[in-house]
Structure 1
Amino acid sequence: MPHRANRTFVTNSDALTAWAPIARARLLEAAATYRATVSEQELAERVQEASGIRADQPADLWIGKLLERVAKEAERRDEPPLASLCLTPDDSDARSRERLRCYQAYATDLPADGGSAAPVVRASLPRRRTAAPAARAERRPVVPANQMREVTCTSCFMIVPARDVCTSCGEPLPAA
């Protein structure tokens, strides 16, 4: 859940509401320069820094919702699709054409011929590293000897001490 610097929590909706105008402003900055784009990570860092609201989740889990809000606002204002200026893993030639519309509306350095849609270059997008399935399955959290092992009850979803039955609801716990 997003939070402020003083660790008070903010709802996801309130965080997105605070971040959307900041994201729009950053995307308008990018639109002013022909072929400029913004990475998801850069946009995520900018909105969090400027708002003082930090997300506990990785940006790729919430950035799409933020871009949806920016897109809806651009549509409401009858503007080109500013959200297309943020490069995403599912980027396409259609989004490239949408970016061209943004540059044609805002770029101060647009070529005399009106510019052209840039081809999608996937190599420039950061790739998320994922461990091989076998490697993920073998890793088990190391519990120090002085700490109690905990499990999540499949009935009440509470984290409880590892025992035969849940200390919260009394249902049997899965064998660990």
Structure 2
Amino acid sequence: MIKLGIAMQLTELQTARTIMRPFSEADAIEAFSWFGDPAVMKFTPHGPDTTLESTIERIKHYLEHQSKHGYAKWIIRERNSMKPIGDAGPMYFPECESFELGYRLLPGYWNKGLATEVALAWVQLRFQIPGLMNLMAFTHPENVASIRVLEKVGFNFSHRDHLMGMDSMVFKMPNL
């Protein structure tokens, strides 16, 4: 389910097992549980956040992006428990002049199809949100789980590149 607020701004995105919404600064302590986790951030160009203040700054960046574009990385909550379990969403990526879809989950939620579920929800929105038609994603070549998610939701491998200081596989969403 998609919820729109005043001025048609997206305020919530639901899947069968999750509810996603924009971050607030109050989410920082909970979000640090994955942003500071070396396993979760293993294939992220800059690695884990080392302090809570780093996560607060990250969330402020997401809120600025949200204000400018109407969406950003959002907090993911498990629908049944409302426990925060990760983040997902598109961010403008200047190096590629496109919006890049990213997602992260706490390790206890890996291998359950949740990354595919939340990524697919964002992919499906590209038809309703201006600017998302040229959605792309990139991942480290050794991040096999992320590559599988991208392929399952319809991304096609485009090329290899060096993005944000990391060897990367770049995927693009075909325009239909």
Structure 1 length-normalised TM:
0.23
Identify the structure with the greater helix proportion.
Answer: 1
Identify the structure with the greater strand proportion.
Answer: 2
Structure 2 length-normalised TM:
0.23
Larger radius of gyration: 1
